[in-house]
Structure 1
């Protein structure tokens, strides 16, 4: 009886088809085939989840209002429940409008703070927030309406982030009185759906055709969003591809400890799971690894632009979880003292 190679001809797509809609510029349809049966669902579901949860975007995370009376005397609005003099809408309505802003900034921008001066009468729209490095896609979005006597300043904080961050988290890092934290939805991807259709290759008709439809808010084009999602998924799968290479093969206990310490100090500060604000401050200071961070003193960290006491406290607490601290110069003691949070150690040793 002739022996057959059942693995020969394992099918995978040679390319992908992109269908753009002139009617919906923020919509893209992607078609790829053939996949072996079941692979279409596996890949489609993975990409959908990453697209909805992990694509970076910009959002308003905090605001502060100051009103001025006829004599120019300032009054700081203390909470979202206080009424803005000379403004038709409640602050809660203004917040709801700010959450709808579609914000685009250069790729290397971590965020910014804007000061908008408003005098009535008139309507303030999203266009009022535009600057050289800040583009508002929905410029005509109405934020609030001013009466004749309205005279106020609005400070808006814009941050780069992923997914959804509730106002309770943003509130922990507010240091100025009168600043109101906002819920922030950073994802520029508004909707994703995928479907699987059977397709024929040769005599077989049980291959998968994967169809992915991506809708964005206009701050990123669908094809770039899908490419970014695929790169994120690839980075996670990479640890399984290089599994054997990442294991420490030496049987020398001292060498193992030194290698382990080296890996931890070379670990990205992103593994500390800091808030967006603290992460952005470290990036601005060019602090990329845990080793870079632990070499800095408290005074050096505190001098970083936009870095406050709460951010400093957060970093100290996160380092403590790793049995590390700021201002370290001698790492030899870590051979016996170091202890990484369990889930982090698994990631570093995987």
Structure 2
């Protein structure tokens, strides 16, 4: 028997990192849904973030008021404020000011910022202010996880004085997660899982950072169960999928994850499977047309991944040998 470790690939990634499409394969049957669903749940509900917590508007006593010279009523203002995306540096709570004079289109970027506090979506519309009027408000941001309603914020807080309005807090930095599980082939077998994950974030952290953080949180919780016994297998032993040697050798070069150049060189030489590669002497492989040193090294590394060791002296032992 030989083993194949699951591998993760980044299929797509946006320029700013807020979107990524990842693929993990091969996984044992059932693990695609198990891993995908647990990661999705953590990504959407447990990762920490920063959100508005309360707002105090000069001259306004409650959320059903209007502000002179402002097109939006207070309810609309609060709805816009809920959409502010921000991040902290070294603090977990911050009160900031927004003071502007009209006429102007008031945006989130006009809120005061410093080394501890940054607005990400600076162009977010907050209000439309008429000429001769001003808008003066105090906003408190907090760090947290998931979603906390205005009612919960109001009940938890002790500093909600007269005129302070509680705001719904949307802390999660992940906007959307899609998971897809499909079959993938390993040798002759097609009953393995391939997990594809699509992640969108609000740019406070990248999609790949979000997945890494979610995985770390899951690992911390799973460690509680692993501590029930003294068993401590190597992680590679846990993840490795055992496959009969003959089935690995039937693997097509199309499924080996080779670069286009290396793949094309093998195809032109009439080589279609891993079995045909390992049947060749090292010298024969190195003489394949258009298979340069870089492609040769790539192929040797790939063979080692599949459990085949290079001989210590290729001139005396010209063939690859399978690990026992």
Tell me which interval the TM-score lies in, with the shorter structure as reference length.
Answer: 0.5 to 0.7
In the alignment, does 2:167 pair up with 1:175?
no
Cross-structure match for 2:117: 134
CA distance, structure 2, for counterparts of residue 58 and residue 217 of structure 1: 11
Hey, which of these two has a bigger chunk of strand by percent?
A: 2
CA distance, structure 2, for counterparts of residue 10 and residue 239 of structure 1: 28
- State the shift of 1:122 in Å: 1.3
In the alignment, does 2:241 pair up with 1:243?
no
Note if contact 1:12-1:36 (Cα within 8 Å) is conserved in structure 2: no
- State the shift of 1:21 in Å: 3.4
CA distance, structure 2, for counterparts of residue 130 and residue 231 of structure 1: 34
CA distance, structure 1, for counterparts of residue 200 and residue 210 of structure 2: 10
Cross-structure match for 1:256: none
- State the shift of 1:111 in Å: 2.4
In the alignment, does 2:98 pair up with 1:116?
yes
In the alignment, does 2:82 pair up with 1:99?
yes
How many aligned residue pairs are there?
227
- State the shift of 1:40 in Å: 1.0
Cross-structure match for 2:217: 232
Instruction: Assess, with a 3 A threshold, how the Cα gap between structure 1 residues 41 and 175 changes in structure 2: closer, same or farther.
Output: same
Could you state the TM-score of these two structures normalised by the residue count of structure 1?
0.62
CA distance, structure 1, for counterparts of residue 199 and residue 135 of structure 2: 40
Could you state the TM-score of these two structures normalised by the residue count of structure 2?
0.66
Structure 2: state its 5+ residue gaps: 231-324
- State the shift of 1:203 in Å: 2.3
Cross-structure match for 1:88: 71
- State the shift of 1:159 in Å: 0.6
Match of 2:44 among 31, 49, 52: 52
Query: Per-residue CA shift, 1:181-208, capped at 9, x if unaligned?
Result: 0111110101001111211112222111
Q: How does 1:1-350 map to 2 (within 5 A)?
A: 12-13=5-6, 15-22=7-14, 25-66=17-58, 76-106=59-89, 108-132=90-114, 133-172=116-155, 173=157, 174-244=159-229
Note if contact 1:54-1:187 (Cα within 8 Å) is conserved in structure 2: yes
Instruction: Assess, with a 3 A threshold, how the Cα gap between structure 1 residues 51 and 212 changes in structure 2: closer, same or farther.
Output: same
Note if contact 2:109-2:119 (Cα within 8 Å) is conserved in structure 1: yes
Instruction: Assess, with a 3 A threshold, how the Cα gap between structure 1 residues 22 and 240 changes in structure 2: closer, same or farther.
Output: closer
Note if contact 1:200-1:206 (Cα within 8 Å) is conserved in structure 2: yes
Which one scores higher on RCO, CA 8 angstroms, separation ≥ 6? Answer: 2
Cross-structure match for 1:251: none
CA distance, structure 2, for counterparts of residue 146 and residue 109 of structure 1: 32
User: Mean alpha-carbon deviation: is it higher for 122-131 or for 221-230?
Assistant: 122-131
Query: Per-residue CA shift, 1:6-48, capped at 9, x if unaligned?
Result: xx656541x3111333478421011111111111110111001
- State the shift of 1:131 in Å: 1.0
Query: Per-residue CA shift, 1:204-262, capped at 9, x if unaligned?
Result: 221111111101111110000000100111111111000247xxxxxxxxxxxxxxxxx
Note if contact 2:52-2:81 (Cα within 8 Å) is conserved in structure 1: yes
Query: Per-residue CA shift, 1:280-326, capped at 9, x if unaligned?
Result: xxxxxxxxxxxxxxxxxxxxxxxxxxxxxxxxxxxxxxxxxxxxxxx
Note if contact 1:61-1:170 (Cα within 8 Å) is conserved in structure 2: yes
Alignment root-mean-square deviation, CA = 1.8
CA distance, structure 2, for counterparts of residue 63 and residue 202 of structure 1: 61
Note if contact 2:98-2:112 (Cα within 8 Å) is conserved in structure 1: no
SS of structure 2 residue aligned to 1:243: coil
Note if contact 1:10-1:36 (Cα within 8 Å) is conserved in structure 2: no
SS of structure 2 residue aligned to 1:16: strand
Note if contact 1:201-1:207 (Cα within 8 Å) is conserved in structure 2: yes
